[in-house]
Amino acid sequence: MMKTLSSISSFAVLLLFEIMNIWNTTTDFILLGLFNHTEAHLFLFVMVLTIAFTSLLGNALMIFLIHQDVQLHTPMYFLLSQLSLMDMMLVSTIVPKMAADYLTGLKSISPSGCGLQIFFFITLEGGECFLLASMSYDRYVAVCHPLRYVVLMSWKLCLRMTVGSWFLGAADGLMQAAATLSFPFCSEREINHFFCEAPTLVRLACANTLVFENVMYICCVLMLLVPFSLILISYSLIFVAVLQMHSREARKKAFATCSSHLSVVGLFYGAAIFIYMRPKSYRSSNHDKIVSVFYTIFTPLLNPIIYSMRNSDVKGALRKCIGQRATLSHD
């Protein structure tokens, strides 16, 4: 399986570089950005940068704690570390370019740069959809079949689900990036956004994009609703199992763990469904930009906060790490 995935990945990389060579022959796009050069917008810009930097630190800390603490070496926390990695990569894909454009005033982006942003954005967002579904299955097994957890949620299955999440996201990202930038674009090459996003870019095409938009809509529906349906089924079964528990402490622990995951799912899917599943007539560039800020910058910050505040294992690992550092500094 790994050899097959490696061959497919190598082919995908070669295809992507070939597409980039074609894109390099065309004119740059202009990203209109999110902020103007006013005092109010400067304050908002600094706030967004602060949130993005805090998000990177929070997710890096989560990965570090999971790697360092042996008690967190379980499939649940391995999946959580992958979520943190995806969030870090998402912020790094969007925010540096947005900040550089605002500070320098040079808002151009090459077709290859635009294609890479679309590819990484969809790879990470799509991968997160399937990763959240994998995490819900993990919670279902832990709550409903605790005695068979090691069998039903083995490390082998966990790694397969993780690789599958990354691969499905990357496949969708490669197809959408290649298809979006294969259209001829009009002389008006201004993108009313702060990063390259396929639905926004398609609006600039000087060709009939109806078929592509319909296919892209179907892909988005499948990428969102299939994992979301699995999550709803998992948590419906979990809810029934928790209500049947006789121990109050067990119910409390199950609700605490699952509510953290449900909070992340609600934030992620709520924003994604708003962006990608609305009818075209209801879409607005300004609304899209505001919601995009939420799920590309704010949500990656909220994920480590939610999991650290609602999870006693993570808080215990953090206290242990701080205690060890304090001991070393005194020595």
**Residue spans of beta strands (DSSP E) within 158-238:** 190-191
What letter does residue 189 receive in the DSSP assignment? -
> What is the pLDDT at residue 283?
64
Q: Which helix (H) or strand (E) holds 29?
A: strand 29-31
> What is the pLDDT at residue 106?
87
d(CA 213, CA 281): 13
Do strands 29-31 and 190-191 pair parallel, antiparallel, or not at all (unpaired)?
Answer: parallel
The one-digit pLDDT tens for each residue of the chain (331 residues) are 555 555 555 655 555 555 555 455 457 899 988 888 888 889 999 999 999 999 999 999 999 999 988 889 999 999 999 999 999 999 999 999 999 999 998 889 998 899 999 999 999 999 999 999 999 999 899 888 989 999 999 999 999 999 999 999 999 999 989 888 888 888 778 888 899 988 888 888 888 888 888 888 888 888 888 899 999 999 889 888 888 877 777 777 777 767 777 877 887 888 777 777 766 666 666 777 878 888 888 888 888 888 776 677 888 888 888 887 767 666 5
d(CA 150, CA 154): 5
Q: How far is CA 248 from CA 38, 169, 251, 274, 313, in A?
A: 54, 40, 5, 37, 19
> What is the pLDDT at residue 26?
57
> What is the pLDDT at residue 82?
95
Q: Which residues neighbour 186 within 8 Å (Cβ) at sequence distance 6 or greater?
A: 204, 205, 206
> What is the pLDDT at residue 282?
60
d(CA 53, CA 92): 10
* Residue the block writes with tokens 């902020």: 35
Can you list the domains of the chain with their CATH numbers?
Answer: 1-317 (1.20.1070.10)
> What is the pLDDT at residue 89?
95
> What is the pLDDT at residue 287?
73
